[in-house]
Structure formats: C-alpha cells, structure tokens
Structure 1
C-alpha cells in the first residue's frame, strides 16, 4: 500500500511525529505500522520505562493525554500506544485538546480499528492540518487487489511465487491479509535457502490440496472438463468440512456473473486490451484465461441459464424445496451447468 510505504519512508528519513492516528476497516496495515513504530521508536534497553501500551476500554482520553505529556525517563523519547482505540469513539473528539500543548518528546499512536473518524468534525480536521500529526486510513482491499498485494508482499520478503500457488492461497485464505502474511512467513522458514513458493509447497505445509480445491473446480468448469469436475466434486463430498457447499456455490456465482460481464465487454469492445478487461472484471490478468476459454463453450444465453441454476442450488442448500446431501447438490449443479 503506497500510503503505508510513504509513512514508513518518512519515519526512516525524517524521524517520528508526536501523533500517529491509524484508523480504518483493514486492521493488517494498522498493525504493520504500529509494530514498526513499537519496534523502533524507543531503544530496547529503554522500553521498560519509556514505552507504554494502554487500551481504549480501560483508559479515558484525559488519562491518555496526561500520560503522553510526561517526559521520557533517562532517554530522548517516550512511546505511548493506544490499542483498541475505537472503544473511545464516544469521547475521542476530546483529543483535539492535546494539540494546545503537544509533547514533542512523546510518540503517541492510536490504533483505531474497523472505524474512521468523522471527517466533518474538529478532531479529524485538526489531525489533518497539524504538523505534529500523521493520519493513516487503512482501507480494505478489493477482491481483485488481493493477488497483487500478495505478490508484492512476497517480493518484499525476497521470495517468488508461482501463479497457481498465489491463486490457491487467495482462494483458501480469502481477504484475511494477516492470515496470508502469517502463512507466507511459515513458508519462508520451510524454504530456508530457496526462494520460490510452489503449489506443492503450499499443499504440503498449509494443507490446501493443489488438485482438489475450488480454484481447480472452476478451472475444470471453465474448460468444460467434466471428468475432472466430477472427480473434485466427489472429493468435496468426502471432505465437506473443508469444502462447504456455500463457498463453492458463491464461487460459481461469481465466476458466471463475471463471465456474463466478459461477454458484454467483448461484444461492445472487440479490441479491448486483456489487462483492461481483467481490471473491469475485478480479477488478475492471470485469471483471465479461464474466462477467455469459458466464453467459447458457454454462450451468453447458457451463462444466464447457469446463473439461474446456481440460485436454485443455493436455495436447495438452505433447505428450500427439500433437503439434499452436499454430494447430490454439487452433482446437480455440475450436471445442469454442463448440459
């Protein structure tokens, strides 16, 4: 994330500002910035007396401001980190008063997760304009941005990753950036002197089957490979806990909805650049080939019919119009998709 890197670069080159207000829906980027400041703002030998971590639910704004205004003991800087600062939502506006007498020798960090300040109110305006403060808004990544972020994270770790391994991790771990980062860290330990994260490595160490997963199922459907699709479905029926029907149905819906959109894009713009098409679909360029292939075997009318089938299976999976097993529902979904 560019804004995160910009702040880290500023700290390294210009030093710390007295206040960092980290807020937003994505906790991972907040944790990355907070962890960096916690690790580096105060020397290790001073942390026991010049570093303090407090929690929003246990402290008032006045308590936090009083702590921040203290002078460091036997050192140049004090660090005060406010975890779960979102619990101060009802009184957080009172923090504006701190800027009447900012303590320059204190670095005060607010981790205000899952929320953002009201940008119409005084505190946000004060923080945004003050030379003593840095405001960081951590936004959730879009689904189509996850693969790009993962590749960038892997590169920052001085590693490489196969496209299939990337797709497996994203499909299995979703948009939980903390989990993805943790799994990459584990794989880095396993790799030792090697640099390439392969599908085999992901399968062996994270427990994701490289042959029997939703990524491969969608690929089989896109290529109209019925034998492969039904083999994966059989595996899913024997491992329903790790392969819930609701997830598979949702992925089918996403795939055919995007395929319908792909047909529309191609119909209107026959010369559209593949990278632009991928961006419009909200997928990575690597994933575009499945849509290019599927468009040849599923005309627009069939795609619309399949979307209706997916909705029907979704209702049946929720107990509407009778109760069928996971195996029966997935088989019905595949049969009606292919026919």
Structure 2
C-alpha cells in the first residue's frame, strides 16, 4: 500500500491487526506509527492498553505476551515496536503474523533497511505492509513545497532550493525545521531566505545555492567569499556535500547543452515546476560551453577522490580552496 492509502484508512479509523513499516526512509514510518500511537485508542485507555518498546530492549516472547493480551475497557490493544530492526530473532513472530489477534494492533517499525522476506510475505496477506523508500534528490524541492502547504505556509523558490541543497533528502530533518517554524510564525507566513537564516540557521548569503550562482556568473570575488566562509564553517559544509552538489549542478548543465535545448528538455533535466527556477537554470547552462562543463566535472571528480584520501593527505579545507581556484581558472 502507498503512504496516502494507509493514511486515508487511519483517518477513517480503519485499523489492521498488523503493520510492518520497513525501508530506508524513516520519516513515513514515524508519521504512520505516531498517528496510530495517538489515535488508535482513546487517551484515557492508553495506560492499560498501549505498550511501546524499542527492539533492542525487548524480545519475541515479551512482544507475543503483550500482543495476545485482551484489551481492558477498550476495543483494541496497541503494541508498537520501534527500531524493530534491532529485535533479535524477529522471524520468531511468524506464527503470530499468520494468525494475528483481531483485538490487537501490532506495529513493527523496521527502519533503514528492508524487513526479512519471510515477514513481508505474511504481512502483505494478513495486514498492512509499507516499504518506505528514500526519495531522489531531484524530488526534494517538490516535497518541501507540499510539506510547506501542509503546515499552512508559503515558500519562495529560492528558499526551497536553499533547504533542498543544504539538508538534502533527509525528510525528517526538513520536517522538524518546518515544525519549528510552525511554532514561531503565524499561519500563511512566507518562508524566505531571511526566515531560514534567522530561525533555521542556514545562511542566506553563504550556502551551496549562492556558490552555484556565483560560479555561473563568473563572479570570482563572491565565489572566494563563499569559499572562505565554507572553510570557517566546515562542519556545516563538508567537502563530500559541496562536491556532490556542484557535480550535480554541472552535470545537469551539461545534459541541457547536449540536448535540443527545448523547454521540454530542460523540464526533464531539472525536474522543477517553477518557471522562475527553470529559467534561471537555463540561463546558467547557456553561460557555459560543453568543454568548460566537462573540465569542471573532471576537476570535481579529481577532488572527490582526494577528499576521500586517494593519493592525498592535504587538509580538507585546503582541498576545497584548490578545487575552487581550479574551477575559477
């Protein structure tokens, strides 16, 4: 089932006897399990009818004993096993999963990796199976825009790109930052780079998005200014993160220059619904020749290897400076 299908059922108070939530992306697993924890049974019934435990702190027999107990003064008993990937001998749940109690709701939160096939096959027949997959980096801006609407905010394209570039596809971190803004800002506020700098701590002037813009404009003074700021705040801007973002930046421009340069081709390459962002991307790509792009990509690959210790013992900050100086020529 999809996340949307599961959530629609939960909001309609339709609960399955088993939920196996597994996969690389923890955000959706947490959202589903939190909803069940807070809404499956009434608050005043939870003390006697809800048991929440972490996989490393329990064992199969204890889970089975709890899930087989009859509810007391409640139509359902809820058992949630968080971090179920740490549960020893998890396949021992198989007999129960084949014949679950209709008066209990068992939620297994198996994060960061897929659950054993022996469990997924059974739950797919007798309960709700959800595989929470990581979303691709190029989908993150659209995900941010949708999540911003969920929290009843608006956001500028520039601010969306800053969040996407700085945080990447760590959906839980992005959502936590938006929740923080929900406490601070009134409804329908616009999230701008200034808001992000003030309340989230990502500089509106010194970030990867601004570095890309300065490189595209051949503004060496601005490039070096951002570069030195990165060196002074290296924990927030490690080389792998910077190199990956710049490599993607140049690869997309190369793909555009090798295409027919139509707007349709640009939309396919940049995967954005924003005309402002698309036009900016096209303008940047048109400012480079194919040879320049290939040269810069080669430099980035060289320093990607060096930053990982391949034929280099140079300090990371110095590698960043060398790389940027080479790119700028």
State the Cα distance separating 1:319 from its structure 2 match: 7.9
Quick one: which of 103, 107, 110 aligns to 2:108?
110
Structure 2 residues without counterparts, runs of 5 or longer: none
Specify the SS of the correspondent of 1:52.
strand
Would you say how many aligned residue pairs link Structure 1 and Structure 2? 327
Superposition TM-score, scaled by structure 2 size: 0.89
Task: Work out the CA distance in 2 between the residues paired with 1:23 and 1:68.
Answer: 20
What corresponds to 2:314 in structure 1?
323
State the Cα distance separating 1:30 from its structure 2 match: 0.4
Task: Work out the CA distance in 2 between the residues paired with 1:331 and 1:81.
Answer: 49
CA RMSD of aligned residues (A): 2.5
Specify the SS of the correspondent of 2:264.
coil
1:276 aligns with 2:276: no
Task: Work out the CA distance in 2 between the residues paired with 1:55 and 1:330.
Answer: 42
Quick one: which of 117, 126, 138 aligns to 2:122?
126
Question: Aligned runs of 1:130-209 on 2, under 5 Å?
Answer: 130=126, 133-209=127-203
Quick one: which of 311, 316, 322 aligns to 2:301?
311
State the Cα distance separating 1:331 from its structure 2 match: 4.7
Task: Work out the CA distance in 1 between the residues paired with 2:54 and 2:37.
Answer: 15
State the Cα distance separating 1:263 from its structure 2 match: 2.0
Question: Aligned runs of 1:88-107 on 2, under 5 Å?
Answer: 88=87, 91-99=89-97, 101-107=99-105
Task: Work out the CA distance in 1 between the residues paired with 2:172 and 2:288.
Answer: 37
Question: Aligned runs of 1:67-78 on 2, under 5 Å?
Answer: 67-78=66-77
Specify the SS of the correspondent of 2:176.
helix
Q: Decide whether the 8 Å contact of 1:220 with 1:228 is kept in 2.
A: yes
Q: Decide whether the 8 Å contact of 1:56 with 1:83 is kept in 2.
A: yes
State the Cα distance separating 1:329 from its structure 2 match: 4.5
Superposition TM-score, scaled by structure 1 size: 0.86
State the Cα distance separating 1:29 from its structure 2 match: 0.7
Moved more, 29-38 or 15-24: 15-24
Task: Work out the CA distance in 2 between the residues paired with 1:250 and 1:12.
Answer: 40
State the Cα distance separating 1:315 from its structure 2 match: 4.9
Change (3 A) 1:238 1:69: closer
State the Cα distance separating 1:153 from its structure 2 match: 1.0
Task: Work out the CA distance in 1 between the residues paired with 2:263 and 2:186.
Answer: 45
